[in-house]
Amino acid sequence: MARTAGSHSDITGPRVRAAAQKLFAARGFAAVSMREIAREVGVQAGALYNYTADKQSLLFDLMQSHLEALLQTFEDDPTATPEARLEHFVRFHIRFHHDRPDAVFIAYMELRNLTSDNFARIEAMRGAYEDRLEAILRAGVTDGSFDVADTKIATLAVIAMLTGVSTWFRSGGRLSLQDVEAEYWQMVRKAVAPS
Amino acid sequence: MARTAGSHSDITGPRVRAAAQKLFAARGFAAVSMREIAREVGVQAGALYNYTADKQSLLFDLMQSHLEALLQTFEDDPTATPEARLEHFVRFHIRFHHDRPDAVFIAYMELRNLTSDNFARIEAMRGAYEDRLEAILRAGVTDGSFDVADTKIATLAVIAMLTGVSTWFRSGGRLSLQDVEAEYWQMVRKAVAPS
DNA sequence: TCATGATCTGAACGCTTGTTCAAAACAATG
DNA sequence: CATTGTTTTGAACAAGCGTTCAGATCATGA
């Protein structure tokens, strides 16, 4: 058994995924060829198939990793007040998405390029994340700190609003990420508050 | 001069655009071939080039028509109260987007497949639409009926939230479009209201 | 230093891509 | 009915696609 530790596969594997993520985000899954990914890695196209079964798996793995990280990183404290939990969700979502714009972009734009099996798996994970927010909203409705007619709609509305940040915000501009977090939190807080 | 009225071009032209819109929305610009569009129209691929210079122009024309219709259809009444103007915007946006899901999807997903010249033109139109909403928010901030720290951010947040409707809402489900309009209007109204 | 086996190359496979164009088809006018 | 000029076909072009695989390369453990 030779070449286990220090073998190139420990290096090339992650680089394949990184190159694919970068290119898929910039130009789209369908518009990027395996040869382009290989060129970005500095390798011939055939070598990619040591690290992925096919192009579809490469896309699916990127999306799955992203959503796994999302679900695993978000921590909700059910003993806190609904308002505190919601604020934490808002700030977490904005920050997490801002830190990985490529992965976010792919997860939202390339759903239709998944096979139906893979699509179902990804959708289930996305649904699980939405459920985390809906649980917070429901808790607030129950104890009277929130007032929304339909927690499912409010969940989708809040997530759409927050995810939109990554379509325009770039660090180094007029506003800091903290400014943006604070501003979105004010809007969300008021949107679900009792009138 | 023969074949002006009643010629096939009056029929085929719109059908090419319709087929392209349908297929681009379902599977993405890069993943759809000219031969597939031709098959949907019932014609050979070569015939498409009587109606479009190339594939890129086909995409651009679809987007441009959509945004022209958006800008032309939306009517704001600057003499009304900011709250009334905002409610009208919210309901208009939801309804307009719900009526043309394919065009909306393309306009949001295929921006990166535009050449940079075409992208700039489309972005300018999108910016003009955003400006219409921002004018309303600014009027409300000025007269004290709204309270948002940054009207630009609020504009983008509201539009992202409203556009998100088209990712999940389909007529015939649990909720009517009127229900959805009303619910989003409540959230937007509260989000920009003074606390 | 040699043998091992993971890693990579480079060519090849069959197929599809956007686009062009000469020739054919065809509807309407005179 | 002949002519006109628009519309469509069908073949062709060079290029690129995802994927496979025999053989070369090369770091490592013995």
| Tens digit of each residue's pLDDT (9 = 90 or more) over A109-129 | 999 999 999 999 999 999 999
Alpha carbon of A114: minimum distance to chain B alpha carbons (Å) = 11
- For chains A and B, what is the number of CB pairs under 8 angstroms? 92
User: Residue A1: its pLDDT value, please?
Assistant: 33
Cα of A17 vs its chain's centroid, Å: 16
User: Residue A162: its pLDDT value, please?
Assistant: 98
Show Cβ contacts of residue A171 under 8 Å, excluding neighbours closer than 6 positions: A98, A177
Residue A190 has its nearest CB partner, among B27, B109, B191, at: B191
Instruction: Please tell me whether any atom of strand C lies within 7 Å of the Cβ of B7.
Output: yes
Q: What mean pLDDT is predicted for residues A138-155? A: 98
pLDDT at A51 over 70: yes
Q: What mean pLDDT is predicted for residues A75-102? A: 98
* Coil, helix or strand at residue B174: coil
User: Residue A9: its pLDDT value, please?
Assistant: 63
CATH superfamily, region B57-192: Tetracycline Repressor, domain 2 (1.10.357.10)
Instruction: Please tell me whether any atom of strand D lies within 7 Å of the Cβ of B7.
Output: yes
Show Cβ contacts of residue B137 under 8 Å, excluding neighbours closer than 6 positions: B82, B86, B146, B148, B151, B154, B155, B158, B192
Which residue of B93, B126, B187 to mutate against A (max A Cβ within 10 Å)? B187
Give the C-alpha separation, B42 to B51, whole Å: 14
Q: What mean pLDDT is predicted for residues A4-15? A: 69
Quick: pLDDT tens for B81-116: 999 999 999 999 999 999 999 999 999 999 999 999
Give the C-alpha separation, A129 to A125, whole Å: 6
Give the C-alpha separation, B45 to B33, whole Å: 9
Q: What mean pLDDT is predicted for residues B148-171? A: 96
Q: What is the pLDDT confidence band of residue B8, given thresholds at 50, 70 and 90? A: low
The full length of chain A comes to: 195
Q: Could B149 and A183 be called an inter-chain contact, meaning their C-beta atoms sit closer than 8 Å?
A: yes
Instruction: Please tell me whether any atom of strand D lies within 7 Å of the Cβ of B12.
Output: yes
CATH superfamily, region A9-52: Homeodomain-like (1.10.10.60)
Instruction: Please tell me whether any atom of strand C lies within 7 Å of the Cβ of B61.
Output: no
Delimit the domains of chain A by residue range: 9-52, 57-192
Quick: pLDDT tens for B45-69: 999 999 999 999 999 999 999 999 9
CB of A113 within 8 Å of a chain B CB? The answer is yes
User: What are the two backbone dihedrals, phi and then psi, of residue B95, each rounded to the nearest 5 degrees?
Assistant: -70, -45
